[in-house]
A and B are shown apart, each in its own frame.
Chain A
């Protein structure tokens, strides 16, 4: 990666320090030990099954259908949701988990036999991927981490995991392996922070997605479906 340019840094930061009434900081500042840490208390000690309950309840609040299924029933469950959304065209990530969870047949044969076009994100095709995603009816991704409290799927985008798959199609389906569910955003933030401290770069785009897009900008009435997907379904799959 070529380093980017930085302009006016010293004059600007010297001025900031001067306004604060001291010279520019030149030594390492440690974060203080915070007096409060309420985020650690949320759903503390909850089992995976209890977190599933929390997630399902939150799904209702954010206008998202939540389905729970076993690995062996996943292909049928996914097909049902895709067809329920009107089939037509699907775009997915290039993600080895589709194979791990036994979905290859469905994507390669099952859906096409029902006149559904399936496009798997292909780095070689470049911008063509975006064009296909823009016209697609359904976008499908796995969830990398899932937040029970807010009903959020966290996607670490990059390479085969295009940003557009969860954004441009009219509807969106997230497959949530049960083991990815954590209480809340705190656990993801701590993991990214630890990785970052260990010199591991965070993905160029991390999306926290909680249901379909919406707006309350017209008379404060909630409208579901603005720029992103209009409908969303989560499929929780027992992977243990």
Chain B
């Protein structure tokens, strides 16, 4: 699939997102639930700010010494009998992975959820050599069965689909006969995927955190699919973005605690699996062969720049879950497997401004993302830095920001102008008002009202109401 999803232009993608009312409802409900989960989990700890600061200092130190810790990691992996391949590009990574698979004569591959393998289009590379690659995360599998529908959220990839749609996909593609009850759908997936796990010759996983001083990779899941993929097949390949590493178990523990709380509000997910090399001597289950593929694919271009902190990301999606822009346009609008605020920072860095120059503008700079980030990445500041760079490069902003901001600035620049504007509003808008709502607004309101109503300006301005209230109060 690659990092880029779809070919439509930014504005078309946004229009499509805005007009999908199920998706918008699902997204805002999910955002609410995930955000509340994080806030409750944070509150329970009491000293969440200290946790965040600790996460930040760990990520900063590790990234500053990335070459050192990567060397320690791979030396320890190889001591435990694992093979390591460093891939500068997606092509190099795919070439190595397909060679391992060919050597094993493998046809069936099970995968547990991994963003980096999406980023490098690994599935396509394996399919090209005749392999059947099965996604085993429930959400990812639903999308795969539905002819590779792209993911819309990094933690809940099938968020944009409702249970009836999922039932129909299973029915049409796999002959599913039961109802749209989530339990029945999940049971069907369990049965279908169990067969795949048992038949697979190779299991491929991503990596949440690699631990340098023991040569361990850590996988965080709820469903148990990563455990299946690393228990049953005889060969395991783990693919990691090169920044996904911590010095020791002590730091892994802290970042896992931050990840599970920030992502879903859980103290820990159902399964945290720490794997070191292939199975040990005398072990019955687990892979006989273990390969670790460390991927750069554009990350080193970010090191040493003002955007280095973007590499601190632990992929929890907390920023996505609080973003008001994501809430309205949904994940597909970003045109990248990395949506939301972190996607708007990361996609232009990994994929270039040509494809992603609009994304830094898909933000209100409200800073909710920065506040939510468990490792304190200053996301909104990085978005501003992107905008500065884009303007320097292009000589202008790529979207209508300049014009609309100019009008707003004019209207709010002086008390007099604001006074006049806000007084005039109810009169000016009168022709468009129906039952206190504007359903078909003029000018700048058009984009808004083409899909939803806008409340009509109140006849009594807040300023006047407030003044009158003060008068009333002073009387009593």
Contacts and interface: CB of A to CB of B under 8 A. Distances in A.
B64 A20 contact: yes
Interface residues of A, number: 91
Contacts of B294: 12
B268 interface: yes
A240 interface: no
Interface string B115-146: 00000000000000000000011110010000
A36 B57 contact: yes
A208 B65 contact: no
Nearest to B140: A217
Interface in A190-240: 190, 192-193, 196-197, 201-221, 223, 225-229
Given A29-B65, A214-B223, A38 B216 contact: no
B47 A38 contact: yes
A20 B61 CA distance: 12
A202 B249 CA distance: 11
Interface in A17-56: 17, 19-21, 24-25, 29, 31-32, 34-39, 41-42
B77 A4 contact: yes
A208 B273 CA distance: 6
Contacts of B415: none
A126 B54 CA distance: 44
B50 A38 contact: yes
A172 B163 CA distance: 29
A204 B277 contact: yes
A213 B224 contact: yes
B138 A226 contact: yes
Contacts of A14: 67
A226 B249 contact: no
Given A130-B284, A150-B268, A193 B81 contact: no
Interface stretch (A66-74, A97-105, A136-144, A156-164): A156-164
Given A207-B227, A226-B224, A228-B224, A186 B253 contact: yes
Nearest to A166: B227
Nearest to B280: A204
A129 B279 CA distance: 15
Nearest to A186: B253
A223 B182 CA distance: 7
B296 to A, nearest CB: 7
Interface stretch (B13-21, B184-192, B200-208, B383-391): B184-192
Nearest to B34: A220
B440 interface: no
B197 to A, nearest CB: 8
A210 B260 CA distance: 12
A116 interface: no
Contacts of B257: 39, 184-185
Q: Which of B137, B138, B224, B273 has the most CB of A within 10 A?
A: B224
Given A15-B300, A193-B248, A1 B282 contact: no
Nearest to B243: A16
Given A17-B67, A167-B231, A217 B284 contact: no
Contacts of A7: 83-86, 96
Contacts of A89: none
Contact of A19 (B70, B157, B230, B300): B300
B234 to A, nearest CB: 10
A8 B278 contact: no
Given A38-B45, A209-B270, A229-B224, 15 more contacts: A4-B290, A8-B86, A9-B71, A134-B198, A150-B268, A162-B284, A185-B257, A192-B249, A206-B273, A213-B222, A215-B223, A216-B156, A220-B26, A220-B33, A221-B182
8 contacts: A13-B70, A16-B296, A38-B47, A163-B227, A163-B285, A205-B283, A207-B271, A223-B183
Interface of B: 26, 29-30, 33-34, 45, 47, 50-51, 53-54, 57-58, 61, 64-68, 70-71, 74-75, 77-88, 92, 96, 136-139, 142, 156-159, 162-163, 166, 182-183, 185-187, 189-190, 193-194, 197-198, 213-214, 216, 222-225, 227-228, 230-232, 242, 247-250, 252-254, 256-257, 264, 266-286, 290, 294, 296, 300-301, 303-304
In order of increasing CB-CB distance, the 9 nearest A-B pairs are A228-B224, A217-B139, A189-B253, A12-B86, A150-B267, A36-B54, A208-B272, A8-B86, A19-B303
